[in-house]
């Protein structure tokens, strides 16, 4: 990892004018004028190792190659505005900037998509972030964990809720050696602006304080916030070899409410700063309450629909049920075969796989359940693995003889290769001794228990990402290019949290093994679990907050970091 200075903003002035000249490189049409702005000295805010800047202009409404303009350091330090032809109006565009030295990409930045009107003047900040590095770009206004981070259609990131206080309390009724903390949730929410690296308070908080909730991006660009808890306890439960985390809350504190964030709500009456109003957006009620209050659940958009499947979690009646939210209506309540808490979920071609989190599982058939949708409303049925179709799924042997290593807690999952494979990242799972599994480390299976399932055949490939750090209660995020980031998490039973960031390319070989990006070796500024991260369209990852431990003190983080993979060319 190379040593880099802090992220540096440069300011670009975007001016659309129908009467500007033409440039054959980008075709005809309205123009984009670029100039450096502000009293930043002779380098105009550019890092000293950059000799030229390339701005790519992507029209999100077409598949055409991006427009491109290149400016040298000398041109950028000039006070003259620069004409760049071909920026469309009335259609969403995205700007990407590359800071180069000769042919090496040293810095990148992204803003948008945004839509310009003919004649509109717009100031656009572009934050140059070092490539091949993790850079702290700022801090949240208050530290937190168990919150959510969701990338909006316009590139901003919604950061919502979470625990803002974790104070030690007595561990009444818990095994000797356990450590307990009182948790208080927050209703605050912010918008991370990738153009500036600033974290802006939303215009109005959430309707309820919630942590351990879910946030699901809907096809219409809104975000569904569901469930969570208003207050609770984090128990570091003493087990053989250390402690494992468990969240608890009273029935009254487990939330059944939902709300929706609309990124277009609460706009400024007039955009006097000509910056696109990055603070716009607001929350409204999400319709009917869920049938059960639930937290530590999964919420998955059912493929091909606008429906969200909410499954399992803690809360009275929630751990062994699923239900569907669609356009403010909750329906389709069904029973799971076994309670699932802190499990993983991955969408398949026609449904959702629910994986692990089943402390009481005694057979392989209970480790995985499949929700199959049958219509546009997202309603369907829940059932076991159909072995007549998924013939390569492990035999239905009694645990722990076979695959307890698949029954992970605090794992994350994504789908790969057009939803054929589920990639499941984790390690925390049952100790394979006795009639009732106890939560412990690596006795049953490899230290790294991450695995992949072929959702067409049932074949399991394990372990994946061999040699990487252990990640439980980590952030597992899929980027727009299909690659997968794994950031932070609980590393072992000693309360150690890892700063490791791992990246999968998104491809899967013929053996069912997801490919690891071997050229990627980065780490966060501090290890933490129960953090929240979101991917940006340029392949970077924004990581926020999280929880770590100093002795028996729970430490909440306010860090905002950008993980930027190495860049080898302009593509």
pLDDT tens digit string along 492-517? 888 999 999 999 999 999 999 999 99
User: Do 52 and 162 sit in the same domain of this protein?
Assistant: no
Query: Per-residue pLDDT tens for 323-349?
Result: 999 999 999 899 999 999 999 999 999
Give the domain extent around 303.
Answer: 134-263+281-564
Cβ-contact 164, 556 below 8 angstroms: yes
Residue 144 φ then ψ, to 5°: -165, 165
d(CA 556, CA 546): 6
User: Do 34 and 172 sit in the same domain of this protein?
Assistant: no
pLDDT tier, 83 (very low <50, low <70, confident <90, very high otherwise)? very low
pLDDT tier, 397 (very low <50, low <70, confident <90, very high otherwise)? low
Mean model confidence pLDDT for the chain: 85
Higher-scoring residue by pLDDT: 88, 114? 114
d(CA 455, CA 385): 10
Mention every residue, 6+ apart, whose C-beta is less than 8 A from residue 89: 16, 29, 30, 115, 116, 117, 118, 120
User: Do 387 and 461 sit in the same domain of this protein?
Assistant: yes
User: Do 423 and 330 sit in the same domain of this protein?
Assistant: yes
| Element spanning 414, H or E | strand 412-416
Closest CA to 416 of 356, 456, 462, 374: 456
Q: Which of 116-125, 190-199, 258-267 has the highest mean pLDDT?
A: 258-267
State how beta strands 368-373 and 351-355 pair. Answer: antiparallel
State how beta strands 214-217 and 223-226 pair. Answer: antiparallel
d(CA 48, CA 75): 15
d(CA 247, CA 295): 9
Give residue 77's pLDDT: 61
Report if residue 274 sits inside a domain: no
d(CA 296, CA 423): 19
- End position of a domain, from candidates 131, 153, 173: 131
How far is CA 62 from each of CA 58, 59, 69, 458, rounded to the nearest angstrom?
9, 6, 19, 37
Query: Per-residue pLDDT tens for 268-310?
Result: 988 877 788 999 999 999 999 999 999 999 999 999 999 999 9
User: Do 201 and 85 sit in the same domain of this protein?
Assistant: no
Give residue 435's pLDDT: 43
pLDDT at position 141 over 60: yes
CATH number for 520: 2.120.10.80
User: Do 326 and 338 sit in the same domain of this protein?
Assistant: yes
- End position of a domain, from candidates 131, 165, 181: 131
d(CA 6, CA 136): 7
Query: Per-residue pLDDT tens for 357-396?
Result: 988 777 777 889 999 998 788 899 999 989 888 898 887 7
Cβ-contact 346, 424 below 8 angstroms: yes
Higher-scoring residue by pLDDT: 210, 196? 210
pLDDT at position 212 over 70: yes
Indicate the DSSP class of residue 254.
B
Q: What percent of the chain has pLDDT over 90?
A: 57
Report if residue 335 sits inside a domain: yes
- End position of a domain, from candidates 85, 107, 131: 131
Report if residue 251 sits inside a domain: yes
Higher-scoring residue by pLDDT: 520, 126? 520
d(CA 353, CA 330): 20
Which range, of 63-72, 168-177, 179-188, 395-404, averages the lowest pLDDT?
Answer: 395-404
Give residue 362's pLDDT: 74
Closest CA to 10 of 246, 197, 220: 197
Q: Enter the tokens of residue 183.
A: 């948790």
Which residue do the tokens 């190379």 mark? 2
d(CA 314, CA 323): 14
Q: Enter the tokens of residue 378.
A: 């997202």
User: Do 446 and 557 sit in the same domain of this protein?
Assistant: yes
State how beta strands 189-193 and 223-226 pair. Answer: unpaired
Give residue 11's pLDDT: 52
Q: How many domains does the chain have?
A: 2
């Amino acid at each position: 990892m190379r040593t880099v200075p802090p992220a540096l903003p440069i300011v670009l002035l975007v001016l659309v004018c129908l009467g500007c000249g033409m440039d054959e490189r980008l075709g005809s049409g309205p123009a984009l004028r670029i100039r450096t702005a502000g009293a930043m000295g002779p380098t105009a805010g550019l890092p000293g190792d950059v000799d030229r800047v390339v701005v790519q202009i992507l029209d999100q409404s077409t598949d055409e190659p991006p427009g491109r303009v290149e400016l040298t350091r000398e041109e950028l330090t000039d006070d003259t505005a620069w004409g760049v032809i071909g920026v469309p109006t009335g259609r969403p565009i995205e700007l990407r900037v590359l800071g180069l030295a000769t042919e090496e990409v040293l810095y990148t930045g992204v803003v948008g998509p945004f839509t310009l009107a003919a004649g509109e003047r717009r100031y656009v900040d572009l934050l140059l972030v070092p490539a091949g590095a993790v850079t702290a770009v700022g801090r949240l206004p208050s530290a937190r964990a168990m919150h959510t981070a969701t990338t909006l259609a316009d590139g901003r990131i919604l950061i919502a809720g979470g625990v803002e206080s974790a104070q030690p309390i007595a561990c009444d009724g818990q095994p000797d050696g356990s450590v307990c903390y009182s948790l208080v949730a927050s209703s605050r929410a912010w918008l991370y602006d990738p153009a500036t690296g600033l974290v802006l308070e939303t215009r109005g908080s959430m309707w309820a304080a919630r942590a351990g909730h879910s946030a699901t991006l809907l096809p219409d660009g809104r975000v569904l916030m569901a469930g969570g808890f208003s207050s609770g306890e984090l128990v570091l439960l003493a087990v053989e070899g250390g402690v494992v985390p468990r969240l608890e809350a009273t029935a009254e504190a487990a939330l059944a409410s939902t709300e929706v964030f609309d990124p277009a709500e609460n706009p400024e009456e007039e955009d006097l700063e000509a910056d696109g109003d990055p603070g716009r957006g607001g929350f409204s009620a999400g319709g009917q309450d869920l049938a059960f209050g639930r937290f530590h659940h999964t919420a998955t958009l059912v493929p091909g629909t606008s429906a969200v499947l909410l499954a399992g979690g803690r809360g009275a009646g929630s751990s062994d049920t699923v239900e569907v939210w669609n356009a403010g209506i909750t329906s389709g309540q069904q029973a799971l075969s076994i309670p699932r808490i802190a499990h993983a979920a991955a969408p398949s071609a026609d449904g959702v796989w629910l994986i692990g989190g089943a402390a009481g599982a005694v057979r392989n058939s209970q480790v995985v359940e499949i929700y199959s949708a049958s219509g546009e409303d997202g309603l369907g049925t829940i059932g076991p693995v159909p072995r007549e179709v998924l013939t390569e799924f492990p035999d239905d042997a009694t645990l722990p003889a076979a695959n307890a290593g698949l029954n992970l807690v605090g794992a994350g999952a994504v789908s790969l290769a057009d939803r054929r494979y589920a990639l499941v990242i984790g390690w925390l799972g049952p100790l394979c001794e006795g009639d009732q599994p106890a939560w412990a480390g690596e006795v049953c299976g490899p230290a790294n228990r991450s695995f992949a399932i072929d959702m067409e055949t049932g074949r399991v490939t394990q372990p994946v990402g061999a040699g990487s750090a252990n990640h439980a209660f980590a952030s597992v995020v899929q980027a727009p290019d299909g690659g997968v980031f794994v950031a932070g998490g609980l590393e072992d039973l000693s309360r150690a949290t890892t700063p490791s960031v791992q990246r999968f390319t998104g491809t899967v070989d013929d053996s069912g093994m997801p490919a690891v990006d071997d050229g990627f070796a980065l780490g966060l500024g501090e290890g933490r679990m129960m953090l929240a991260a979101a991917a940006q369209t340029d392949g970077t990852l924004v990581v926020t907050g999280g929880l770590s431990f100093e002795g028996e003190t729970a430490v909440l983080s306010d860090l905002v970091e950008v993980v930027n993979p190495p860049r080898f060319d302009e593509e």
